[in-house]
Structure 1
Amino acid sequence: MPTLYHAPNSRSTSIVQLVEEMGLTDQIDIVTVTIARQDGSGGRDPQNPHPEGKVPYLVNEKDHIRERGAIITYLTDMFPESGLGRSAGDPQRGEYLTWLFYYQGVIEPVAILHFAQLSHPAIEASLRDYDTMLTRLDEVLVKQPYLLGESFSAVDLLCSGPFAWFGDQMPSTPAIDAWVARCQDREAARRVQAKDNS
């Protein structure tokens, strides 16, 4: 059985929600660990095998998967019947992978830099700036409710996360706000949040 290492109210929360959304809670063992937090609390947990003591970390026999985009791809490919991913051969496979990589390579780093009030022309030329990232999301979400069209997918779960997490500290647009609200208004999100806060 695959094992997911998770620290409540951290980046791994989105993967726990994915497991809930996919109906895999009886097929994936979730192990709660501690991590070092930005406020100086917590610390590395010796039972967490992640080489840097981070979460999420998925272990499936000899396979060890780090980074949320990789874990999402792995799980949605492993369990395609959930409908939250797009398998090889699906006409939206490229778009699905693009959003996963756009999150890792653009949304999260640009959001962190914006939050930290750091900017430099070299960063903006290579990663893009915050307004460009917002424009890209907005131009899709003004036309459709989710990034891949009419139905919620794993890319919505991942890409909406920073907007939900940081709230008003991340400027957005009405279309993005409505999308984030739709992504948060899900039973799986409520169940995971209740567990994380218990």
Structure 2
Amino acid sequence: MKGTHMLTLFHAPMSRSTRLVTLVDELSARDAVNIRIVNVQRRDGQGAVDPDNPHPEKKVPVLDHDGTVITESIAIAIHLCDLFPKAAMMPEVGTPERGACLQWLAWNAGVVEPVLVAKLSGIEHPGLQSSFRGWDEVIGRLETALDGSDWLMGDRFTVADIIVHSSFSWMPDLLPDHAGIQDWHNRMMARPATQRAWQDDQALIKKML
């Protein structure tokens, strides 16, 4: 990363910000990014709103970059990858591979997560199906991408794998008995950065809840 920047990632253990902690590790940026632990209100009623959290809705993740507050996982992930290009977690700007990687990130935020929330909430509606399609289509797209490929971008591990896999890391039972997807999941869970993030989160959550 060129120059000196103050980077603080606000993180609540066992939450969506875990994937950003994992990314920071994969970027070899743990010394450059201060990870600050905050509390959040959990779905089960545990936790609490943290006044030190700069997110306008008191959620995570949040990245403070030299006083500028950046929210949304995808925006933070792209920004971090651009700040630490030597890690090569995203293809270079202007390449078709960059566009393909951005496609996976946008798909996760714009399709996978809404479809997953609807599935877990037991919500079915023609408007949802026409806009986002459904769970079968989500899984079908993963099967196509991972049929004979180690990663979503073929033979290259990227930030797309971290982001798209993140939901399944919590709910592996949602994954089908498809060799390519199961191998991808196991490969993701075995990565040292993933293991470190989970171990740290488990220790932190015991102290907070």
**What TM-score do you get using the length of structure 2 for normalisation?**
0.91
Measure, in 1, the Cα distance between the counterparts of 2:49 and 2:94.
40
Amino acid at match of 1:32: I
RMSD in angstroms over aligned alpha carbons? 1.1
Contact 2:175 2:182 in 1 (8 A): no
Q: How many residues align?
A: 197
Task: Report deviation, 1:62.
Answer: 3.6
Q: What stretches of structure 1 of length at least 5 have no aligned partner?
A: none
Partner of 1:27: 32
**Residues 1:9 and 2:47 aligned together:** no
Amino acid at match of 2:52: Q
Task: Report deviation, 1:89.
Answer: 1.9
Measure, in 2, the Cα distance between the counterparts of 1:70 and 1:86.
16
Measure, in 2, the Cα distance between the counterparts of 1:120 and 1:27.
45
Task: Report deviation, 1:5.
Answer: 0.2
1:189 to 177, 181, 194: 194
Measure, in 2, the Cα distance between the counterparts of 1:33 and 1:116.
27
Task: Report deviation, 1:173.
Answer: 4.0
SS in 2 for 1:39: coil
Amino acid at match of 1:118: I
Measure, in 1, the Cα distance between the counterparts of 2:82 and 2:91.
8
Task: Report deviation, 1:171.
Answer: 4.1
1:172 to 168, 176, 182: 176
Task: Report deviation, 1:172.
Answer: 2.3
Partner of 1:140: 145
Task: Report deviation, 1:127.
Answer: 1.1
Contact 2:175 2:181 in 1 (8 A): no
Partner of 1:89: 94
Task: Report deviation, 1:43.
Answer: 1.1
Measure, in 2, the Cα distance between the counterparts of 1:160 and 1:28.
23
Q: What stretches of structure 2 of length at least 5 have no aligned partner?
A: 1-5, 204-209
Per-residue Cα deviation, 1:38-82 (whole angstroms, up to 9, x for no partner): 000111101111100000000101422111111111011111111
Amino acid at match of 1:194: Q
Structure 1 runs (4+) greater than 4 angstroms displaced: none
Per-residue Cα deviation, 1:80-138 (whole angstroms, up to 9, x for no partner): 11111123123301101100000000111111211122111110100111101111111
Partner of 1:45: 50
Partner of 1:57: 62
Contact 1:152 1:183 in 2 (8 A): no
**What TM-score do you get using the length of structure 1 for normalisation?**
0.96
